[in-house]
Chains A and B, each alone.
Chain A
Amino acid sequence: MGLLDKLSGWLGLRKKEVNVLCLGLDNSGKTTIINQLKPANHSNHLGPLSEEWKHVSQTQAQEIVPTIGFNIEKFKSSSLSFTVFDMSGQSRYRNLWEHYYKESHAIIFVIDSGDKLRMVVAKEELDTLLNHQDIRSRKIPVLFFANKMDLRDAMSSVKVSQMLCLENIRDKPWHICASNAIKGEGLQQGLDWLQEQIAQSTENNEHMNE
């Protein structure tokens, strides 16, 4: 990092670029979550939608189709400039995930809290991810969304973290939030945690570089 870059970084003139990988099984709500975070939805920074805008977001959510391969989305927060890789969760595309591990600075892992049956599949994919050579030794922050908390038979975020054995992740910062991607609930809280983690890790890195 050049001195100028650092300066502009400190002064907040140029936002730091971070790559976020959004993973999870198909139909878990990854695309829906990212759509909520995108600037087109101005309301997303304001938390849950106000009543009169609800129909807008809902029609948008209904347009979402299963992702093929992956999509790249960009959006900015107050301090960071995000590039999100919205990966397809279908089993035939899951082998694409690992090609993006190296470049990513954070991972968002989305779980459908209503899909009890496939919790083992989510766990299997998560374990494979955490044991991958490009992830294993890194202190990369992982944000979990226990999505679809609005469903009648949804499991609580505590139950989800139990079933995924998240307590076994000791060498990476992680956090789990219950969310409802359609209404945008719970997303901001998770994103705040992620920003904080990224800020911390860059600080650490800079210390190390000096």
Chain B
Amino acid sequence: MSDSGSDGGKWLDAHYDPVAGLYTFSSCMDLADLSGDGESRLVVGDLGSGSSGMKLKVYRGTALMSESILLDLPAGLVAFFMDLHEPRIPAVAVASGPCIYVYKNLRPYFKFTLPGLEVNMLEQDVWQQVREGQIDPLTLKEMLESIRKQADVPLSVRSLRFLSLDGSDMDEFVQLHKQQPIRRQTVITCIGTLKKSTADEDGVSCLVIGTESSDVYILDPEAFIILSKMSLPAAPTSMDVTGQFDVEFRITVSCRNGNIYILRRESDKPKYCIELSSHPVGLVRVGKNVVVGCTDESLQGFTQKGKKLWRTVLSAPIITMAAMNLPTRGFQAVLVGLANCEVQLYRDKNLLSTIKTPDVVTSICFGRYGREDGTLIMTTKGGGLMVKILKRTAEFDDRDSTPGPPLAQSVRLNVPKKTKLYVDQTLRERENGLAMHRAFQMDLSHLRLAAAKAYVKALESSLTPMSSSLTEPLKMNAVVQGLGPSFKLTLNVQNTAACRPVMNLAISFLYDESLYRMRSPYMRIPLLVPGLIYPFETFVECTSDKGISDIIKVFILHEGKSSPLLTAHINMPVSEGMTLN
């Protein structure tokens, strides 16, 4: 009875029986005051081993109160008020196969069977012939197989069973079944309830059933006649029903084709369709919205008209889902059982709390159990039963857990008041916007023109350290080393042509001879192989002791041409060696 850490101590562990032997799904569990004493019981359709041991079980508190055998696997179970008799005790409807078994006071009360489906005429003829002894089982098999391939009306279960038999068993099967007429039955895939005419808590409810034949039926609770039949494009797997049959209702059905359809009172065809990118696992209505859990480990919210609101990604595949409604506190959320032994609680796309469980939870049911309104009942894969009670003081804070804009973004900055100057400037800009823009554009054009002119001039007079000449493309940079008065001047010259060597070049310097003396003011350059960097070194002596410096101009010249190929201006540093002496 300890508070487990991650759920923030919101739940009290009321009961856990890991070996309760309860194997079921959320669709086969309901809570109802079956004795009219104000204490809700848990009614469960137990699937047993899946082939045997199916039972209808009723729990009171921590104890199993009663159990009775179910003849077939339950597909769904609901408690509902079928009449207005006092005391107000609900009946229990168990859907299995093509039938609904209704229990009152936990005793079998009524059995409803869905109407049969249309039988294939050819199939009927073939069996007729078998009955008259005209064809043997082998021929029957052949004929049925060909019917199965072509027919638009599917074969009956009997024929399908026959087709799956081995030769030796066929004779016996035919003898056993040939006298009975062929019938084709659909089976119920899901069941729900729909209030007849009042929204009262204990108002009479119709049963709503979805079938393998892609139909939805609404049954009158007293006479058990079909009040309404609607068709879907695919077989339904689970549904949610809201509203009242006589007024307005809405049936949200998830189908085996991966779509969700919304049926309304006026029409026998779906009114809206939600196409999902992966198959729905669970469907829960929260207020006016629908929350769908999908096989791609996502939870998605839709409006009742099918408009997508949000999507959130979960940490593990979804096993089961259930609604958590606490009307006394006005609280609505969705419980999601995951394959990683967690049950997570979501309000919209926000994770409110996580419950860790010792085993994978396969079914969830939340509501009033016993005398406690906020009870969470879960059964596990291993057949365990777990009951948790929401603490009276528990609060779920609706923090947006998904990464989004940081909190600081919504903090208002303390922006200073607008000054008079600012206001005047704004006014001026607003009034003279056009003129200002023109003036700016004109200046910009002038600037561009001046820049272009200077560039052209520089190119024409080869003032740049890059030669633009096509025959002698050259690049040069200069490095000055030393503190003075002696400096070492290194010129790195590179022929940037792809493959053509350059010949007959020379380097010449222009400088103030009263300031500098150069060892070799003129140098010949050897043949320049493309790509290689050729360093040319020379020494410069500063002859002045006044601590001044000047520019030395470097020219690369081509024999026989008067204008240089390249010009570089070297800013000589101040000679510091002199002052040291």
Interface residues of A (CB under 8 A from B): 25-27, 91-92, 94, 115-121, 123-125, 128, 153
Contacts and interface: CB of A to CB of B under 8 A. Distances in A.
Interface residues of B, number: 20
Contacts of B419: none
A92 B13 contact: no
A125 B392 CA distance: 9
12 contacts: A25-B371, A116-B15, A117-B14, A118-B14, A118-B389, A120-B14, A120-B389, A121-B372, A121-B392, A123-B1, A124-B391, A128-B393
Given A116-B61, A117-B61, A92 B328 contact: yes
B373 interface: yes
Interface in B1-59: 1, 12-15, 38
A117 B38 CA distance: 15
B62 interface: yes
B63 interface: yes
A122 B371 CA distance: 12
Nearest to A128: B393
A25 B372 CA distance: 10
Contacts of A121: 12, 14, 372, 389, 392
A122 to B, nearest CB: 10
B387 interface: yes
B346 interface: no
B373 A117 contact: no
A118 B63 contact: no
B20 to A, nearest CB: 14
Interface string B372-406: 11000000000000010101110000000000000
Given A92-B328, A94-B392, A124-B12, A117 B1 contact: no
A128 to B, nearest CB: 8
B63 to A, nearest CB: 7
A116 B389 CA distance: 13
B370 interface: yes
Nearest to A112: B371
B371 A118 contact: yes
A27 B38 CA distance: 10
Q: Which among B15, B371, B387 has the greatest number of chain A C-beta atoms within 10 A?
A: B371
A115 B61 contact: yes
B162 interface: no
Nearest to B387: A117
B62 A117 contact: yes
B369 interface: yes
Task: Say whether chain A's binding surface is mostly helix, strand, loop, or mixed.
Answer: helix
Given A92-B328, A123-B1, A124-B12, A118 B392 contact: no
Contact of B372 (A94, A116, A117): A117
A120 B61 contact: no
B404 to A, nearest CB: 35
Nearest to A27: B371
Given A116-B63, A117-B14, 17 more contacts: A25-B371, A115-B61, A115-B370, A116-B62, A117-B15, A117-B62, A117-B372, A118-B370, A118-B372, A118-B389, A119-B14, A120-B1, A121-B12, A121-B372, A121-B392, A124-B391, A153-B63
Contacts of B369: 117
A15 B350 CA distance: 60
Contacts of A153: 63
B43 to A, nearest CB: 16
Contacts of A123: 1
A63 to B, nearest CB: 16
A92 to B, nearest CB: 7
A103 to B, nearest CB: 23
Nearest to B63: A153
A129 to B, nearest CB: 12
Contacts of B371: 25-27, 115, 118
B139 to A, nearest CB: 64
A94 to B, nearest CB: 6
Contacts of B392: 91, 94, 121, 124-125
A123 B14 CA distance: 11
Contacts of B387: 117
Interface in B354-380: 369-373
Nearest to A94: B392
Contact of B370 (A91, A94, A117, A125): A117
A26 B368 CA distance: 14
B42 to A, nearest CB: 10
Interface in B316-350: 328
Nearest to B374: A91
A27 B393 CA distance: 20
Q: Which among B328, B387, B393 has the greatest number of chain A C-beta atoms within 10 A?
A: B393
Contacts of B370: 115, 117-118
Contacts of A117: 14-15, 61-62, 369-370, 372, 387, 389
A120 B392 CA distance: 12
Nearest to B15: A117
Shortest 4 CB-CB contacts between residues of A and residues of B: A120-B12, A117-B61, A116-B62, A120-B14
A92 B391 CA distance: 12
Contacts of A116: 15, 61-63
A106 B393 CA distance: 25
Contacts of B15: 116-117
Nearest to A95: B392
